[in-house]
Structure 1
């Protein structure tokens, strides 16, 4: 069955454009005109990915993202007219997997949607019966790839799909230093890398969740001028 994408935007013309382009790629589309409606749809329907505008009435995209993340790990792409770094960081910190600034090229949005599904597909294959070790243990950190669960000191930690993939990549190659570009290509499954702080923000979010003291990380180490690693 085709993947279902929930398009959330208070502008019907933008919803129409996104719907047309994604339907042309074979995706099923459902629509919401505000954040509350999006939360309600996620609660009652099976949704594979969400395109979520930020500035909306009733409930904005940031609040909706937080509410959705309480119960679901569905990939979320934030769509916003705000292009400042702080707005991007806010969107990613609340649990979004990607961020696109308005005005946007619909073909870029299609590419981002495909990249999320491609990453999801790779992850499912790699954690299948032939995917190697499904549980990685590093001190008090336990990564269960099959169950898609993270625990630290026996306490379960909620990570977004992107955060989980980054941590799994680093933990699965202990001692190997990955540059930001390499992390992006391995996790997003895209060759094209735009030089922004997306990866850095996700790494910071992971540290906030798994480290006792994120300023002095025990697990994810920064190799200055090179990238990140788990020793």
Structure 2
């Protein structure tokens, strides 16, 4: 089936350029020039990838990304922006963007990022199939159900986001092994770009707040100073 790419970009020249590249990749582009209109189109369904500008009329890109992540199901988001500071990259990732491309960009790099995101989608589908066959993991009052993607701490359910669950499940499948932030980005997020490691810290902190009795002294997800993190062995 042909994949459909929603492009939310208010610059006509860039929008047409991205649309042409999407067509060259044998995908169907849908071009919208306002954030609110783009979000409305996304909610109608049938979108396989969102290419999203940060500065938009109607609704800014960060808000659009946040609303996309509130919709059940996973659709990758590639953010396009003229802003290039690390803070902007981290904000985009923390709102749920999967990757970040700074203007001006080359057509070849855009194509590479799109292909990489769809490889990640395929990998996640494979991971979901593996999880559907996996058994529950229970460690010291923490129970992880990979089939229903639910987590319980001493009998009470912890409401995790999809990314938080994937992060916890990755740890639980490799108990005692130490992972650097870069390794976690590659394994859980599906990419490893310099400067994005801060988003790992943010997700670790949020995960700890949901599953640890005392997040300041974590028992399950432990810090290995100077290296990274590991799960309780």
Give yes or no for TM over 0.5: yes
Q: How does 1:5-20 map to 2 (within 5 A)?
A: 5-20=5-20
Query: Once the 2 structures are TM-superposed, how far is the Cα of residue 97 of structure 1 from its aligned partner?
Result: 1.7
Q: In 1, Cα distance between the equivalents of 2:87 and 2:131?
A: 41
- RMSD value over aligned CA atoms? 2.6
- Radius of gyration: which is bigger? 2
Paired residue for 1:159, among 158, 162, 166?
162
Cα drift, residue 210 of structure 1: 4.6
Is 1:200 matched with 2:187? no
Q: Which whole-Å CA distance do the structure 2 matches of 1:143 and 1:82 have between them?
A: 39
Distance verdict in 2 for CA 1:151–1:61, change over 3 Å: farther
Which secondary structure state, in structure 2, belongs to the residue aligned with residue 154 of structure 1? strand
Unaligned runs of 5+ in 1: none
Count of residue correspondences: 226
For 1:56, the equivalent position in structure 2 comes to 56
d(CA) in 2 for partners of 1:43 and 1:122? 24
Q: Which moved more, 1:217-226 or 1:108-117?
A: 217-226
Q: Matched residues in 1 for 2:114 and 2:215: separation? A: 31
User: Hey, what's the Cα distance between the residues in 1 that align with 2:152 and 2:97?
Assistant: 21
Note if 1:78 corresponds to 2:76: no
Please say if residues 185 and 200 of structure 2, whose CA atoms lie closer than 8 Å, have aligned partners that are also in contact: no
Please, what TM-score do these two structures have when normalized by structure 2? Answer: 0.83
1:117 shift after superposition: 1.6
- TM normalised by structure 1 equals 0.84
Cα 1:111–1:171 shift into 2, 3 Å: farther
What 5-or-longer segments of structure 2 have no aligned partner? none
Q: Which residue of 2 aligns with 1:107?
A: 108
Determine if contact 1:81/1:101 at 8 Å carries over to the other structure: yes
Q: Structure 1 residues 83, 217: closer, same or farther in 2, change over 3 A?
A: farther
Does the alignment pair 1:176 with 2:174?
no
